[in-house]
Amino acid sequence: MKNIAKVYAPPAPHMVGDGFRVHNFIPSFPALSMQRMDPFIMLDYGSKFVFPPAPSPKGVGVHPHRGFETVTIAYKGQVAHHDSFGNSGIINEGDVQWMTAASGLLHKEYHAESFAKTGGEFQMVQLWVNLPAKDKMSAPKYQAITNQQMAKVLLEDGKSYVEVIAGKYKNQQGPANTFTEVHLQNAILEKGVKVEFDFPSTNNTFLIVIEGSIIVNGSDPIPVDHFVEMDKKGTSFTIEANEKAKVLVASGAPIGEPIAAHGPFVMNTRDELVQAFNDFNDGKFGHLED
């Protein structure tokens, strides 16, 4: 059995730009360092929050990334995205955007115009997934993953299911293409339903309770908005819904390479970080209007 290493209550929220109110779990907690959670190097969780209607969309202006991937999951509300490679789109409720920054790009993220006009509940996750050294300078790419594209594995009660974004659950493959082994799944559970997950003991694994409350391994109660760091030992664990629940489950094989990170760049060495800043300042990440 894979047991819980530690449960984390959400830290005080902060604003990213003026549109994203988030709790940072990785790497704000010392025990959840980039090295410990490898390949997951950053996790911002936007718990449910009501934004009032706004005359113009709130969000984050143009900024660069290099060396990793950003994965944005929209649980409530809508996020609009534009980048310097010409990709743009709206991440609707239940959808995922998997952006490979790799060698570098500029992007901006805002509330979708339709959401800004009406306001409402907003809830999201942004996860940064590291890239191996050999892929850090590969070409940027963009995967827009709709909820309809995700594999959905129905559970025994006929109502609960596991939604597979990346990796596998019960031999059902998620639509996301990944550079290393990454499993990213939502367990959507009716009250009293139990589901089992099994990942290699070498993987780093975590959970976030998005809605409701759960019991892990039959004994550990976890309330909403809490982050669960799973132990490295063991492979399988169970999640049972205390009430109707939604749980983000993530597990990934560590890359095991040096990490040199500063702001929007995550490389392997300090020299590569300096090069990233120089390339950005020299306009090599393309152009994007704010």
Q: Look at residue 290 in the predicted model and tell me its pLDDT.
A: 85
Q: Residue 176 is inside which H or E element, if any?
A: none
* Residue 285: inside a domain: no
pLDDT on residue 212: 98
Distances (CA, A) of 58 to 75, 86, 90, 236, 247: 17, 21, 14, 41, 27
Q: Are 226 and 207 in contact (CB under 8 A)?
A: no
Task: Give the Å distances, CA to CA, from 133 to 68, 257, 267.
Answer: 10, 8, 8
* DSSP-H helix ranges across 52-106: none
- 274 lies in a domain? no
Helices (H), the chain: 34-37, 113-118, 270-281
Q: What is the pLDDT tens value at each position of the chain, 290 positions in all?
A: 999 999 999 999 999 999 999 999 999 999 999 999 999 999 999 999 999 999 999 999 999 999 999 999 999 999 999 999 999 999 999 999 999 999 999 999 999 999 999 999 999 999 999 999 999 999 999 999 999 999 999 999 999 999 999 999 999 999 999 999 999 999 999 999 999 999 999 999 999 999 999 999 999 999 999 999 999 999 999 999 999 999 999 999 999 999 999 999 999 999 999 999 999 999 999 999 98
Number of domains observed in the structure of the chain? 1
Give CA–CA dist 49/21, Å, rounded: 8
CA angle 106, 264, 51 (to 5 degrees): 80
Domain harbouring 185, CATH code: 2.60.120.10
Write down the pTM of the prediction. Answer: 0.97
pLDDT at 287: 94
Can you say whether the dihedral through the CA atoms of 227, 90, 67, 178 is positive or negative? positive
Instruction: For residues 219 and 1, give the distance between their C-alpha atoms in angstroms, rounded to a whole number.
Output: 13
In DSSP terms, 196 is beta-bridged to 238
According to DSSP, the β-strands at 214-216 and 236-241 are: antiparallel
Count other Cβ atoms within 10 Å, centred on residue 91: 22
* 289 lies in some domain: no
Full residue range of the structural domain in which residue 18 is found = 6-252
In a domain, 283, yes or no: no
CA dihedral 166, 122, 227, 152 (to 10 degrees): -30
Q: What is the structure's pLDDT at 248? A: 99
Go through the chain and tell me how many residues it has: 290
Per DSSP, the three-state class of 125 is strand
